[in-house]
């Protein structure tokens, strides 16, 4: 089934993943009726990237807040497919929990409500691996799938908001629409997403530059994970959107979540960063700077300091126990169910994804080096 003639809304379209989804929709061989790109702000680089595609599919840029119901009404009017990738990603606790909840959970529920009011038929939610874990105990998972049993525990606010938002999306699958059809929903839980333009990878590159082009090691070698290339995550959204419009395949995917990974190698986070940049002369620290138990104690001390200083000053530690658990827990998942149910297959091989990402690192390294040195002066 194709997306020809479909009107699609992509939220978070100015973000790292969202703009890739928009680009792939515009690049579709069969013309969509319209793609609406929604976000609070768009960089000039993102807008230029959209313009450079010279797509025959009409693109409408919509700047606004998903918590604004009047704006949402205008955004979804006449739309048949929504890809909801907008959210606040917060791994350090930089964002107050009420704000995080308001955007990630309340914003999603308001969008769902408006979709039902406007008879939007298909809704794809960009979820996260953190919905699953790792849990507080750091229980490992090796090559898990959607049927794997894993003890989920309450923990970091970001994970809680993504879990609650995903639940809201999947619970509404099957609700009747005015035209006699039913609401079709699905969620995609991607692994850690890498690729050119990744703000998290850029942060690691900056740290390595300041450390004589050596990546810091905060993850032990044994903590294997399987990151996924941003282009493949975007492609998974396009593929599941096509499947949802196919009555036979829609029965398979509706109301379900899927893990999205690819053929990227299973490595620790630190070793994966090194794999992307080693041909550019970057190294990686051979071992943790201190035993993991001591790192946890250090993180706990920083968290206590943050709590004690809260009445006087806002201090956010650069590391916390949750992040250490994420970085040091073996946690890998297969994409075989997505492959079986809606034909997901990575669009970019590991070699191509690595080449594209390494080329981007090579481009930004001189600029970042100059910028970081200017800050030191």
Predicted confidence (pLDDT) per residue in 201-232, tens digit: 999 999 999 999 999 999 999 999 999 999 99
In a domain, residue 217? The reply is: no
Give the total number of structural domains in the chain.
1
In a domain, residue 355? The reply is: no
Q: Is 371 a catalytic residue?
A: no
In a domain, residue 339? The reply is: yes
Note down the domain range covering 34.
7-198+227-265+332-348
Full 3-state SS string of the chain:
CCCCCCEEEEECCCCCCHHHHHHHHHCCCCCCCEEEEEECCCCHHHHHHHHHCCCCCCEEEEECCCCCHHHHHHHHCCCCEEEECCCCCCCCCCCCHHHHHHHHHHHHHHHHHHHHHCCCCEEEEEEEHHHCCCCCCCCCEEEECCCCCCCCCCCCHHHHHHHHHHHHHHHCCCCECCCCCECEEEEEEECCEECCCCHHHHHHHHHHHHCCCEECCCCCCCCCECCEEHHHHHHHHHHHHHHHCCHHHHHHHCCEEEEECCCCCCECHHHHHHHHHHHHCCEECCCCCCCHHHHHHHHHHHHHHHHHHCCCCCCCCCCCHHHHHHHCCCEEECCHHHHHHHCCCCCCCHHHHHHHHHHHHHHHHHHHHHHHHHHHC
Q: What is the pLDDT of residue 375?
A: 75
Active-site pick, 125, 158, 192, 344: 158
In a domain, residue 246? The reply is: yes
In a domain, residue 165? The reply is: yes
**Global model pTM greater than 0.75:** yes
Condensed to tens digits (0 to 9), the pLDDT of residues 153-202 reads 766 899 999 999 999 999 999 999 988 889 999 999 999 999 999 999 99
Q: What is the pLDDT of residue 346?
A: 97
Write out residues in the chain with pLDDT < 50, as ranges. Answer: none
In a domain, residue 285? The reply is: no
In a domain, residue 36? The reply is: yes
In a domain, residue 34? The reply is: yes
Q: What is the pLDDT of residue 377?
A: 57
Domain of 31, CATH number, reads: 3.40.50.720
Q: What is the pLDDT of residue 370?
A: 86
């Amino acid at each position: 089934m194709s997306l020809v003639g479909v009107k699609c809304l992509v939220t978070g379209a100015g973000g790292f993943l969202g703009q890739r989804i928009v680009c792939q929709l515009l690049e579709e061989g069969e013309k969509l009726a319209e793609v609406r790109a929604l976000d609070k702000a768009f960089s000039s680089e993102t807008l230029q990237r959209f313009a450079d595609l010279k797509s025959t599919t009409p693109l409408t840029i919509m700047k606004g807040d998903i918590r604004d119901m009047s704006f949402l009404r205008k955004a979804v009017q006449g739309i048949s497919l929504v890809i909801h990738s907008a959210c606040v990603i917060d791994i350090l606790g930089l964002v107050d929990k009420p704000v995080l909840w308001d955007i990630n959970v309340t914003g999603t529920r308001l969008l769902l409500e408006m979709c039902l009011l406007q008879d939007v038929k298909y809704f794809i939610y960009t979820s996260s691996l953190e919905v699953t874990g790792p849990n507080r105990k750091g229980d490992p998972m090796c090559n898990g799938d959607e049927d794997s049993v894993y003890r989920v525990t309450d923990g970091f606010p970001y994970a809680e908001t993504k879990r609650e938002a995903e639940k809201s999306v999947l619970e509404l699958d099957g609700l009747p629409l005015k035209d006699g059809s039913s609401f079709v929903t699905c969620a995609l839980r991607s692994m850690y997403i890498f690729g050119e333009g990744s703000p998290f990878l850029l942060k690691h590159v900056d740290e390595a530059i300041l450390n004589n082009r050596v990546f810091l090691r905060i993850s032990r070698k044994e903590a294997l994970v399987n990151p996924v290339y941003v282009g493949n995550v975007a492609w998974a959204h396009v593929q599941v959107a096509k499947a949802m419009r196919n009555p036979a395949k829609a029965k398979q995917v509706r109301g379900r979540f899927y893990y999205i990974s690819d053929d990227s190698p299973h490595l620790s986070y630190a070793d994966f960063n090194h794999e992307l940049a080693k041909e550019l002369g970057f190294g990686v620290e051979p071992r943790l700077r201190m035993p993991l138990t001591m790192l946890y104690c250090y993180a706990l001390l920083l968290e206590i300091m943050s709590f004690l200083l809260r009445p006087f000053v806002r201090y956010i530690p650069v590391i916390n126990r949750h992040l250490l658990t994420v970085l040091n827990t073996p946690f890998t998942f297969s994409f075989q169910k997505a492959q079986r149910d809606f034909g997901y297959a990575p669009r970019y091989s590991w070699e191509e994804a690595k080449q594209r990402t390494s080329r981007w690192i090579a481009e930004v390294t001189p600029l970042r080096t100059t910028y970081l040195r200017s800050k030191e002066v």
